[in-house]
Every structure is written in C-alpha cells, then in structure tokens.
Amino acid sequence: MTDIGPVLGALADPTRRQLLEALVEEGRASATTLAGRLPVSRQAVIKHLNLLEAAGLVTSARAGREVLYRVRPEPLDTSAQWLAERAAAWDRRLNAIKRAADATTQEQP
C-alpha cells in the first residue's frame, strides 16, 4: 500500500490547500502568480510548493526564467480511495452495532 502520510500532512495546512485549489483553477502557474492570489509572500509560497512537491502533489518544470507548477492528481486519488475504504469499514462496524442493538431491543418484553 502507498504511504499517504506525506499527502495528508501536506493537506493539513490551509495555505497549501489554497495553493492546490489555485493550481487546479489555473492548470499551471508560477510561484509569483500564486503569491498574487494569496495573502502570503512569494518566498512562503515557494516553501509551501516545495512541501507539496515533496509529497508528490505537484510537479515543477522550468519554462524560461520561471518555474511552473501543476497538480498531480494521482496521490489525491490514492488518498481518497484509502479514506473511502476506511469510511466503508466504519460503516460496516456501525451497522453491525446497530443490528445488535436492534436485536437486543426486540428481545426485551
């Protein structure tokens, strides 16, 4: 199984989530463009983008003098699948508890 810890850790920060959302809207963008959309400095944006890149959530490519970033959806898909599997497991457990509680209630006079 893929380790989703770095992805979840990267997504824990609201600024990084905003950067991802901005990149989804833009398709690809430079740190300067992204910094113009957020109330943080360009240097802070670059630090956040580096963390997102280390988690596999974005890739970067040099385009002339700029570095352009874009979202990699695969780690998000993997994380969403893992979370959905955990949610389904909890649903099964809760349904079993509900059935047991209902059976106990029906047995009482």
Question: CB within 8 A of 36, min separation 6: which ones?
Answer: none
Q: Structural domain tally of the chain?
A: 1
| CATH code (residue 65) | 1.10.10.10
Angle at 60 between CA 46 and CA 57, to 5 degrees: 80
Domain of residue 37, residue span: 5-107
Query: What CA–CA distance (Å, rounded) separates 34 from 20?
Result: 10
For residue 1, what pLDDT is reported?
55
Q: Is the pLDDT of residue 106 over 90?
A: no
Q: Tell me if residue 29 falls in helix, strand or coil.
A: strand
Tens of pLDDT, residues 16-73 = 999 999 999 999 999 999 999 999 999 999 999 999 999 999 999 999 999 999 999 9
- Express the helix, strand and coil content of the chain in percent, nearest 5 each: 65, 15, 20
For residue 95, what pLDDT is reported?
84
